[in-house]
Amino acid sequence: MSATKTTCPYCGVGCGVSATVTGPRTVEIKGDAMHPANGGRLCSKGTHLGETVGLGGRLLHPEIGGRQAGWDEALNAVAKGFSDAIAEHGPDSVALYLSGQLLTEDYYVANKLMKGFIGSSNIDTNSRLCMASAVAAHNRAFGEDVVPCNYEDLEQADLIVLVGSNTAWCHPIIWQRIEAARATRGTKLVVVDPRRTETAESADLHLPIRPDGDIALFNGLLAAMKDRGLLDQQYLAAHVDVPEDFWDQLGQTDVAEQAGLSPEALAKFYDLFARHQQTLTLFSQGANQSVCGTDKGNAIINVHLAMGRIGKPGMGPFSITGQPNAMGGREVGGLASMLAVHMGFSAEELSQAQRFWNSPTMVKGPGMKAVDMFRAVHDGRIKAIWIMATNPAVSMPDAGFVREALAKCPLVVVSDVMANTDTGSFAHIKLPALAWAEKDGTVTNSERTISRQRGFFPAPGEARADWDIIADVARRMGHADAFAFDSAASIFREYCAQTAFENDGRRKLNLFSWADVSDADYDALKPMRWGGLSPFADGRFTTPNGRARLLPVEPPPAPAADAAFPLRLNTGRYRDQWHTMTRTGLSPRLSQHRREPLVEVHPADAAAFCIRDGGLARIRTRQGEAIFRAAISEGQRQGELFVPMHWTDQQSSAGRANRLPNQGADPISGQPGFKNSAAAIEAVTPAWTGFLVTREQPELQGVPYWTLIRQRGGWLVEMAGFEEIDLEHLLPEGERVEALDGARGVRRAAVVDGEGRLAAALFLSRSGRLPERDWIAAQLDGEERHAGLALLAGRPAQLPPDRGPIICVCFDVGMKTILGAIAEQQLTSVEAVGAALNAGTNCGSCRPAIRSLLEEQKEAVNA
């Protein structure tokens, strides 16, 4: 079978994937050696895509009110529901909430319907949560949302500054390119992050900045560069507008105090920046997800513009997007704050779009951004919302409020690939969409490269492409001619034509050469980067006068002291999970890196609040509370907590992080500030703890604390409770062995099937002492027959070595195995560990962790 060239559906790096179908729903995944983003490499998430393409849990038929319905009935109901709301309450009473997981073609059809035919801009996307501040910063500085850099710049930079980016975990292939540049070119690396992440541990300089201290830092940097005479006066004079009082407002603050950094660390940073002309500043969610995210973006861009470090190889401000097609959505204009194809809402632009679309009901201005959109659902202004390929009941800040809003909304339509999601539980109508392995279209990555996503499995059940579903509803709403699309290629042609329509150099985004691409050429399309290597190489920007702008930006005031909520809460991602785990959660291997959501706590805070490493802790904010397993970490700043954003109600009883942040958002971009919430922590002391391994997905209602992850052949559930409860229903029928020690509060039970293989095992303890999970969980997938005693012990008669937590998911290598090999074989490099154990030699995502273990061991030896 020949391989299909497609694109990874996870992060904004946009790696090329080569997929070879090996069976009805099985596929071998490799990196596409010809793709410019990754040159054949894939991270752990991309490598294990093959484990996520099964049909378990898929939504395969339309549903109305929980019953299976035909497409005709379901789409008529959507069209009627939307049309009735519009007729009675006006166009702004309906909304579309989209996703960076959608393809550019899906976005185009949705945007055209909403802005040109319904006449509302209430179309927003989960990309609002990811990079809207970077978009706003680009628009303010450059006149257009254009990323001025490309991935080759990574190899040409002498200094790379990462701001708010745990690149090693969140954009691993960019990280591998940075590591390669450091090894071959000697590129210096500075990491600006409140947390000492694996990325920060690898840096030449880590600046553990105070949350939202970035504006003070970059204003301070610019003032220092000015003092040293390092501004590019020629570039400024030729290409940049500088407001009159711009320089006066710089350097008026105590940078060390506001950024929370030592003067020595600042001096080192300034020196590195001064010494290296070829400097690339990458910024990501840590900068964007802030109530002052747009100003942060402009503080970074200001430095590059003022020093002329933009539009040339190896330099520039480089926004790295989180999602696979956040950029495609931006290009199309599928956001409430943009009209279409990089146009705003001026009379001229509205007229252009109306004439291009032959639109009967053109929108007049911007619509409601994500947070405002769900507020309007909550207070009844929005009567019908259609949510596609995203899970706002989990991912929005103050997610409890979003749930209340959806519960009240007269019409909630959800298009998704999965039957059961937290958001889907509020849907009146569910529409089955094609998943990654079946979809056809295009995506744009962080460096403006458009790549094809190609399906390699047939559509399962009655699932249909998102663009096809939207166009069908549009036709049923009376817009047959404008939505007569019959293929992704036909949409792509119209989209490219719109980018070129009356463009005349007003916008860098101009795809005119693909506006008449044939179906065959579209099918064969190779990755292509619009805007060239460097869209601003000529120093001309897309502002009315062709000049970029420096923006005066001020650091935000420090948050007021709050005795009830004395800590600051940060949320973020894990290396091997993606968003709300609807896909990565299907992979047993990816589930091994972090089996439970952890709250990371500085040792001093742990001592102050009586938090025990490995115990449970409740985090409270004014919005709600959640429970996590505590991990005490020197990598946290004192006074700050970190929790992952991935767990939903499908995988945990209480670990849903986004119920905690409030609705506060950047006033310009509308991007919520996920990373700096006032919070409190307290220890949770259960009466018992335990775990269950089981072949069948268990029914966990009534268990006070639980988290659920996939294992090969079944599931692993961590549990805790506050009183004795009946857990009998968790154990299936079968031959059972059981041990009970009432005095010590221990219960162990195992059930084997008719062939003597493990079907389920339950371990409970009042002391918290429980066996390791690895061996007993592995028995779910094994062929081994068991004597009851070993099962109850939770380990075999012959003890295997304890591997410790899994570091390398590709080769299943644990931390203790690596530490043992380093000590015994005196290994001193990541490569040597790879040669000895294979760890780190496939996707490379664990290489920073291996490097940390090497450092740890070195320090232990030297101590």
Nearer to ligand SF4, 371 or 810 (CB): 810
Neighbours of 512 (CB within 10 A): 12
Sign, CA dihedral 481-485-491-496, equals: negative
Q: How far is the CB of 55 from ligand SF4 (least distance, A)?
A: 22
Nearer to ligand SF4, 272 or 443 (CB): 443
Q: How far is the CB of 140 from ligand SF4 (least distance, A)?
A: 28
Nearer to ligand SF4, 8 or 437 (CB): 8
DSSP, res 585: G
Nearer to ligand SF4, 45 or 430 (CB): 45
Q: How far is the CB of 329 from ligand SF4 (least distance, A)?
A: 16
What is the three-state SS of 241-266? ECCCCHHHHCCCCCHHHHHCCCHHHH
Nearer to ligand SF4, 46 or 673 (CB): 46
Q: Which residue has the tokens 């371990």?
A: 763
Q: How far is the CB of 130 from ligand SF4 (least distance, A)?
A: 14
Q: How far is the CB of 322 from ligand SF4 (least distance, A)?
A: 10
What distance in Å separates the CA atoms of residue 17 and residue 23, rounded to the nearest whole number?
A: 18
Grouping H, G, I as helix, E, B as strand and the rest as coil, residue 181 is: helix
What distance in Å separates the CA atoms of residue 631 and residue 628, rounded to the nearest whole number?
A: 9
Q: How far is the CB of 170 from ligand SF4 (least distance, A)?
A: 8
C-alpha Rg value of the chain to the nearest Å: 27
Q: What is the largest CA-CA distance in the chain?
A: 83
What distance in Å separates the CA atoms of residue 861 and residue 863, rounded to the nearest whole number?
A: 6
Q: How far is the CB of 325 from ligand SF4 (least distance, A)?
A: 11
Nearer to ligand SF4, 35 or 620 (CB): 35
What distance in Å separates the CA atoms of residue 475 and residue 160, rounded to the nearest whole number?
A: 50
Nearer to ligand SF4, 398 or 576 (CB): 576
Nearer to ligand SF4, 43 or 207 (CB): 43
CA angle (315 as vertex; 311, 316 as ends), nearest 5: 70
Q: How far is the CB of 445 from ligand SF4 (least distance, A)?
A: 8
Q: How far is the CB of 708 from ligand SF4 (least distance, A)?
A: 23
**Closest to 437 (Cα-Cα) out of 45, 1, 10, 19:** 19
Nearer to ligand SF4, 8 or 617 (CB): 8
Nearer to ligand SF4, 174 or 601 (CB): 174
**Closest to 595 (Cα-Cα) out of 660, 653, 652:** 652
Q: How far is the CB of 434 from ligand SF4 (least distance, A)?
A: 19
Q: How far is the CB of 46 from ligand SF4 (least distance, A)?
A: 3
What distance in Å separates the CA atoms of residue 118 and residue 83, rounded to the nearest whole number?
A: 9
What is the three-state SS of 144-158? CCCCCCCCHHHHHCC
Bridge-based pairing of strands 384-388 and 316-319 is unpaired
Nearer to ligand SF4, 46 or 329 (CB): 46
Length of the chain: 863
Nearer to ligand SF4, 174 or 336 (CB): 174
Q: How far is the CB of 750 from ligand SF4 (least distance, A)?
A: 38
188-192: strand order across its sheet: 205-207, 188-192, 159-163, 279-283, 316-319
Residue nearest to ligand SF4 (CB): 46
Nearer to ligand SF4, 38 or 302 (CB): 38
* Bridge partners, 716 (sequence order): 693, 709
Structure tokens at 714: 């079944």
**Closest to 230 (Cα-Cα) out of 221, 238, 218:** 221
Q: How far is the CB of 357 from ligand SF4 (least distance, A)?
A: 33
Nearer to ligand SF4, 43 or 385 (CB): 43
Q: Are 132 and 336 in contact (CB under 8 A)?
A: no
Nearer to ligand SF4, 151 or 628 (CB): 151
528-529: strand order across its sheet: 441-444, 449-453, 528-529
Q: How far is the CB of 842 from ligand SF4 (least distance, A)?
A: 12
What distance in Å separates the CA atoms of residue 538 and residue 238, rounded to the nearest whole number?
A: 11
Neighbours of 524 (CB within 10 A): 11
Q: How far is the CB of 457 from ligand SF4 (least distance, A)?
A: 19
What distance in Å separates the CA atoms of residue 135 and residue 330, rounded to the nearest whole number?
A: 8
Q: How far is the CB of 495 from ligand SF4 (least distance, A)?
A: 23
Q: Are 522 and 442 in contact (CB under 8 A)?
A: no
Sign, CA dihedral 266-268-273-275, equals: positive
Grouping H, G, I as helix, E, B as strand and the rest as coil, residue 786 is: coil
Q: How far is the CB of 44 from ligand SF4 (least distance, A)?
A: 7
Nearer to ligand SF4, 14 or 333 (CB): 14
User: Using CA atoms in the order 110, 113, 119, 123, what is the torsion angle rounded to 10 degrees?
Assistant: -10
Range 607-613 contact pairs with CB under 8 angstroms and sequence separation of 24 or more: 609/681, 609/682, 609/683, 610/683, 611/681, 611/683, 612/683
E strands present in 778-861: 806-808, 813-814
Nearer to ligand SF4, 46 or 455 (CB): 46
Q: Give the residues lining the site for ligand SF4 (CB under 6 A).
A: 8, 10-11, 13-15, 38, 42-43, 45-46, 171-173
Q: How far is the CB of 489 from ligand SF4 (least distance, A)?
A: 24
Nearer to ligand SF4, 322 or 673 (CB): 322
**Closest to 655 (Cα-Cα) out of 617, 626, 680, 618:** 626
